Amino acid sequence: MTTSPDTPPKTGHAVIQDYLRTLESSPGVYRMLDAQSRVLYVGKARNLKARVSSYARPTGHTPRIARMIRETASMMFLTTRTETEALLLEQNLIKQLKPKFNVLLRDDKSFPNILVTGDHAYPQIKKHRGAKTEKGSYYGPFASAGAVNRTLNQLQKAFLLRNCTDSVFETRTRPCLLHQIKRCSAPCVGKISEEDYRASVQDAERFLSGRDTKVQETLKEQMTEASAAMEFERAAALRDRIRALTQVQTAQGINPRSVTEADILALHLENGQACVQVFFIRANQNWGNRDFYPRVGEDVDQAEVLEAFIGQFYDTKEPARLLLLSHEIENPDLMTELLSDKLGRKVEIAVPRRGEKAELMEGAMRNARESLGRKMAESAAQGKLLRGLAEAFGLETVPERIEVYDNSHIQGAHAVGAMIVAGPDGFIKNQYRKFNIRGEDLTPGDDFGMMKEVLARRFKRLLKDDPDREKGLWPDLLLIDGGAGQVSAVHEIMAEHGVEDVAMIGVAKGVDRDNGKEEFHRFGQRPFALRRNDPVLYFVQRMRDEAHRFAIGSHRAKRAKAVSANPLDEIAGVGASRKRALLQHFGSAKAVSRANLADLKAVEGVSAALAERIYGHFHDSG
């Protein structure tokens, strides 16, 4: 049967019914697509034919599913050997395709850990985020960088372990400030023996593993002995170390007695919005909590939301041995098998009903309920501001994504461009971007040229990554820090890239560069201002200040990196020990750069070939 080009494509139950004749009763994953071949929904099934037949019925669906069926113009299928494989594939496709009718975890950052390095005689203790490729012992996850930093701070006081890099350690000739304030035992200059330092490392690892009672008891015994021997300074130092351990435990709040290792996941649903609170319990210690707000529909139930969250959350993270859930999920056996395979050992999933686990869940549920309440209140206020912004700037629609740009530099040096993003839920920090200004032909301090480079790179990336504007990456509004000149520069770049439908406003400080007197510039139009007490003005100021903060922070980080860079690090064959020998011999990297070949050859450990390489690095005539 052929259809006229003017005939709209067939959608809905009839389309789905046509697929039933060719489907098998095997496990697999199905995708529902609209008339433009955009994925509407990804699902898994133990029996593909039975699951798809449920969509072919004309009635009995929730409003969300009924709307999805009406929009379905085609389907795709992929069979798997087992239902567990189907579950894994389903979650991977949801994260990759972001279908609009699926529950979607939008914030999926990695969590920091504490790493005690294992490739050095004097191990370093530090924060670690990302793949666990470095040799050593990892402890975590912690809910936030702040939680890790607080714990590291107290562990330094308690165990006096170093946090400096190996290169810094190798080049120290005298103790650093941390030793003076009693946060490091200064192994770099031999203030502690390797054996005693190793004992401190073992104590720290016992504490991080939850076996901390003996550590504190030992310190108390040593403090008593020091007091009896009238070694009051040593006794005071031991007292401070005991206090530091106590402060770690106090900061962690509730530390469960009967739960050694668990992730607590509590879900609260209300008015089509969801919050999942995740608490990390490790070594009988609470290592913090994080709230997540997955995208859900108005008619989803707790089981669907929680199962989708677990599948996507643990796609890139290591689960605990025990998952405590606030609600039952649809396929606990499949999820248990999937997570156990991922971890390489048994994972248990449970919904606590009584005892300490139920008390922990009650606290997590309260946090989820209160967090969602705050989020909904903030979203309502943010929505009102966005509507006010659209009205004030004459926008055709309320913006869903606002991008704000700013530059930061000192007389053109270490120039950085910054982009921050705001939307209905406030600032979207995982979408922030920084741009290292590359333009070699730019005049130092050329703000117009810098902004043109930043926007040119931004639109080039957008046209490459999302040419059809289906991924939500395109802005509805650009806010540029600057006046008519900046607006003209950005308009030129937009015209070059064929971008004509993105609104753009320049925010200039106005008279006396005073907050409240901002002028707003649009290309080809006269500037205008808002009332001094207008909430929309405060909203724009807050976004501009956030962009300025992010730009300055990025600039300072780039400048600090450049200042701390050592030119000796760029020379092949000059490792930590040879660098230390060169610095001790000449006094500074600058002096090394000025040394003649004979002097370089005189340095202990520097061969004639290496001396020539060092000399050539600093005296290359080409």
Q: Which amino acid is at 237?
A: A
Strand partners, 45: 28
Q: Residues 132-144: pLDDT tens digits?
A: 888 999 998 888 8
Strand partners, 421: 403
Contacts of 215 (CB under 8 A, 6+ apart): 203, 206, 207, 245
In this predicted structure, the answer to whether residue 307 has a pLDDT above a threshold of 80 is yes
Whether 144 and 151 have beta carbons less than 8 Å apart is answered as: no
Determine the pLDDT at residue 399. 94
- The stretch 284-289 carries a mean pLDDT of 86
CATH architecture of 402-562: 2-Layer Sandwich (3.30)
Which candidate, 548, 510, 505, 547, places its Cα nearest to that of 532?
Answer: 510
Determine the pLDDT at residue 576. 75
> What dihedral angle (degrees, nearest 10) is formed by the CA atoms of 301, 306, 312, 318?
-170
- Grouping H, G, I as helix, E, B as strand and the rest as coil, residue 532 is coil
Mean pLDDT of the chain: 86
Which candidate, 487, 613, 579, 576, places its Cα nearest to that of 164?
Answer: 576
pLDDT band at residue 266 using 50, 70 and 90 as cut-offs:
very high
Determine the pLDDT at residue 254. 60
Determine the pLDDT at residue 255. 66
pLDDT band at residue 2 using 50, 70 and 90 as cut-offs:
very low
pLDDT band at residue 154 using 50, 70 and 90 as cut-offs:
confident
Which is more confidently placed, 432 or 5? 432
Positive/negative CA dihedral, 87, 88, 89, 90 = positive
Contacts of 340 (CB under 8 A, 6+ apart): 346, 347
Determine the pLDDT at residue 311. 92
To 10 degrees, what angle do helices 213-228 and 232-251 make?
Answer: 160
Which candidate, 324, 336, 274, places its Cα nearest to that of 103?
Answer: 274
Positive/negative CA dihedral, 552, 557, 558, 559 = positive
Return the DSSP state at 250: H
Determine the pLDDT at residue 117. 92
- The stretch 23-36 carries a mean pLDDT of 92
In this predicted structure, the answer to whether residue 59 has a pLDDT above a threshold of 60 is yes
Task: Name the segment(s) of the chain with CATH classification 3.30.420.340.
Answer: 262-374, 402-562
In the chain, % of residues over pLDDT 70: 90
Which fold does the domain 13-97 belong to in CATH? Answer: GIY-YIG endonuclease (3.40.1440)
- The stretch 393-409 carries a mean pLDDT of 90
- Grouping H, G, I as helix, E, B as strand and the rest as coil, residue 480 is strand
Return the DSSP state at 213: H
Return the DSSP state at 46: S
Q: In this structure, which CATH number among 1.10.260.40, 1.10.1060.10, 1.20.1740.10, 1.10.150.20 belongs to the domain 567-618?
A: 1.10.150.20
Q: In this structure, what are the phi and psi dihedrals at residue 198, rounded to the nearest 5 degrees?
A: -60, -40
Determine the pLDDT at residue 565. 61
Q: Residues 574-614: pLDDT tens digits?
A: 877 788 888 888 877 778 888 888 888 888 888 888 888 88
Q: How far apart are CA 22 and CA 28, in angstroms?
A: 14
In this predicted structure, the answer to whether residue 234 has a pLDDT above a threshold of 80 is no
Helix (H) or strand (E) holding 423, with range, is strand 413-423
Task: Determine the distance from the C-alpha atom of residue 256 to the mean position of all C-alpha atoms in its chain, rounded to a whole number.
Answer: 28
Determine the pLDDT at residue 1. 42
Whats the size of the chain, residue-wise? 622
Q: In this structure, which CATH number among 1.10.640.10, 3.30.450.20, 2.60.40.650, 3.30.420.340 belongs to the domain 262-374?
A: 3.30.420.340
pLDDT band at residue 274 using 50, 70 and 90 as cut-offs:
very high
Q: How far apart are CA 240 and CA 462, in angstroms?
A: 54
In this predicted structure, the answer to whether residue 622 has a pLDDT above a threshold of 90 is no
In this predicted structure, the answer to whether residue 411 has a pLDDT above a threshold of 80 is no
In this predicted structure, the answer to whether residue 252 has a pLDDT above a threshold of 80 is no
Determine the pLDDT at residue 49. 93
pLDDT band at residue 326 using 50, 70 and 90 as cut-offs:
very high
- The stretch 526-540 carries a mean pLDDT of 89
In this predicted structure, the answer to whether residue 554 has a pLDDT above a threshold of 50 is yes
Q: Residues 465-479: pLDDT tens digits?
A: 888 887 788 999 999
Task: Name the segment(s) of the chain with CATH classification 1.10.150.20.
Answer: 567-618
The angle formed by the CA atoms of residues 408, 412 and 413, to the nearest 5 degrees, is 85
- The stretch 303-313 carries a mean pLDDT of 94
In this predicted structure, the answer to whether residue 563 has a pLDDT above a threshold of 70 is no
- Grouping H, G, I as helix, E, B as strand and the rest as coil, residue 416 is strand
**Least confident range of 54-63, 360-369, 383-392:** 54-63
Q: How far apart are CA 588 and CA 211, in angstroms?
A: 46
Place of tokens 């969250």: 309
Task: Determine the distance from the C-alpha atom of residue 380 to the mean position of all C-alpha atoms in its chain, rounded to a whole number.
Answer: 25
Q: Residues 431-468: pLDDT tens digits?
A: 999 988 876 666 666 778 888 888 999 999 999 888 88
